[in-house]
């Protein structure tokens, strides 16, 4: 039985900087301890990347986990994705209320936005921005009449 998405992973150039940003910006907290590996065949097999070496961490905010990696090997593409690129291009942070206040607070922490303010789409107020490494993060505040509000999700049973 599928219960939902467990986490989103982000490849970072600077894990320490990104961890600090996600803590301050979105309230993510470290779960357990940071981890690292190098020359570990079982991990190379698991992630299907030969000769991998990385450090990382798992972070949690509410019902969402974010896993961050900083790979030392192999060298991968470092260009951030755009919303129109193929593959995973962004994740969304749900704001309970005052999306405009969060928008201003996040700008103060170094997030950049293309729109001058969150846009009211009727069922949701939303705005796309970029974290300090250029990854796209959407902020949304759902209206009472929105069909996909987080508070309408049933609790997960064990």
119 lies in the same domain as 65: no
62 lies in the same domain as 94: no
Q: Provide the pLDDT for residue 36.
A: 96
Decide if 132 is inside a domain: yes
88 lies in the same domain as 26: no
Instruction: pLDDT band for 157, please (50, 70, 90 cuts).
Output: very low
Q: Provide the pLDDT for residue 1.
A: 45
Residue 125: how many other CB atoms lie within 10 Å = 19
pLDDT tens digits for 75-100?
Answer: 888 788 888 888 778 889 999 889 99
pLDDT tens digits for 65-81?
Answer: 899 999 999 988 878 88
Last residue of a domain, one of 43, 77, 111: 77
Residue 155 has pLDDT above 80, yes or no: no
How far is Cα 23 from Cα 19, in angstroms, rounded to an integer? Answer: 6
66 lies in the same domain as 3: yes
Decide if 64 is inside a domain: yes
Q: How many domains does the chain have?
A: 2
| Exposure b/e, 42-55, CB count within 10 A at least 16 = b | eeeeeeeeeebbbb
Decide if 129 is inside a domain: yes
Last residue of a domain, one of 56, 77, 98: 77
Decide if 34 is inside a domain: yes
Structure tokens at 58: 């798992």
Bridge partners, 91 (sequence order): 137
120 lies in the same domain as 139: yes
Last residue of a domain, one of 38, 59, 77: 77
Decide if 127 is inside a domain: yes
Phi-psi region of 15 (alpha: psi -120 to 50; beta: other; left: phi over 0): alpha
Entry pTM: 0.82
* Domain enclosing residue 100, as ranges: 79-146
Instruction: pLDDT band for 10, please (50, 70, 90 cuts).
Output: very high
Q: What is the CATH number of the domain that holds 102?
A: 3.10.180.10
């Amino acid at each position: 039985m599928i219960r939902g998405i467990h986490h989103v992973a982000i490849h970072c150039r600077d894990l320490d900087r990104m961890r600090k940003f996600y803590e301050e910006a979105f309230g993510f907290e470290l779960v357990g301890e940071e981890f690292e590996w190098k020359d570990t065949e079982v991990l190379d097999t698991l992630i299907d990347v030969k000769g991998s070496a990385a450090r990382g961490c798992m972070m949690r905010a509410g019902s969402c986990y974010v896993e961050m990696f900083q790979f030392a090997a192999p060298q991968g593409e470092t260009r951030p994705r755009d919303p129109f690129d193929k593959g995973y291009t962004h994740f969304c942070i749900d704001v309970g209320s005052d999306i405009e206040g969060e928008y201003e607070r996040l700008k103060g922490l170094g997030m950049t936005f293309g729109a001058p303010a969150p846009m009211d789409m009727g069922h949701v107020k939303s705005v796309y921005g970029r974290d300090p490494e250029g990854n796209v993060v959407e902020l949304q505040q759902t209206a009472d009449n929105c069909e996909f509000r987080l508070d309408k999700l049933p609790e997960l049973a064990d």
